[in-house]
Chains A and B, each alone.
Chain A
């Protein structure tokens, strides 16, 4: 069974640029959630995708957007990057539809905005 994978591992971007981060869900999982983890903080929920639709969103501006594909892989897009967007971005996959669930995280993408 393949776990959750994310690419790239590290990324450096300049303020104002756009970035796309990718996530492959664990086999059999139909839901993906994205989190931002700033240094010294816990992961903060960005949004969740289920059946290719956004299924919930945290307190993040619209310049954070996402996609989920038919194979349940996902992308996180961030436009007009700001310095405060520098963080570890985590995706987590799960099986939704039968009550509460455990999420399984990937190793994350470290984004640095200069």
Chain B
């Protein structure tokens, strides 16, 4: 059973516009959420995180929104740049004294110049 789902395998956005990547989860015990970006032949790069006690976290062009009642989080990239073209993964973990992250299947973002 896939506890973290990214239902859009791919997304294309024009340069300068907003990119919105979505992630849904089923486990209400998830306490902490991360977004990663992955380029080919590289490991995932940490982008931004959010705790379940918040509903928004912002870092430069990247903002993550968490809707706990809907078990949904989204990553907004504004403005989108061609260098943002990559695969984006969301990951979630419960707090059981240790954090074991469950990843979604990823969304491939293509920013068109």
Interface contact A50-B98, CB-CB below 8 Å = yes
B44 touches which of A40, A43, A48, A99 (Cβ 8 Å): A43
Q: Is A4 an interface residue (CB 8 A)?
A: yes
Of the candidates A42, A44, A100, the one having the most CB atoms from chain B within 10 angstroms of its own CB is A42
CB-defined contacts of A35 to chain B, threshold 8 Å: 103
Assembled-state Cα–Cα distance A90/B103 (Å): 13
CB-defined contacts of A108 to chain B, threshold 8 Å: 42-43
Task: Return B53 CB to nearest CB of chain A, in Å.
Answer: 11
Assembled-state Cα–Cα distance A92/B91 (Å): 13
Question: With A42-B106, A100-B49 in contact, do A4 and B100 touch (Cβ < 8 Å)?
Answer: no
Q: Which of B55-90 contact A (CB under 8 A)?
A: 89
Interface size of B by CB at 8 A reads 27
Question: With A90-B44, A105-B43, A107-B42 in contact, do A100 and B106 touch (Cβ < 8 Å)?
Answer: no
CB-defined contacts of B101 to chain A, threshold 8 Å: 33, 45, 103
Q: Is B7 an interface residue (CB 8 A)?
A: no
Who on chain A is nearest to B41 by CB? Answer: A107
Task: Return B26 CB to nearest CB of chain A, in Å.
Answer: 15
Q: Is A14 an interface residue (CB 8 A)?
A: no
Assembled-state Cα–Cα distance A41/B6 (Å): 11
Who on chain A is nearest to B4 by CB? Answer: A42
Q: Which of A55-105 contact B (CB under 8 A)?
A: 55-56, 58, 90, 92, 96, 99-105
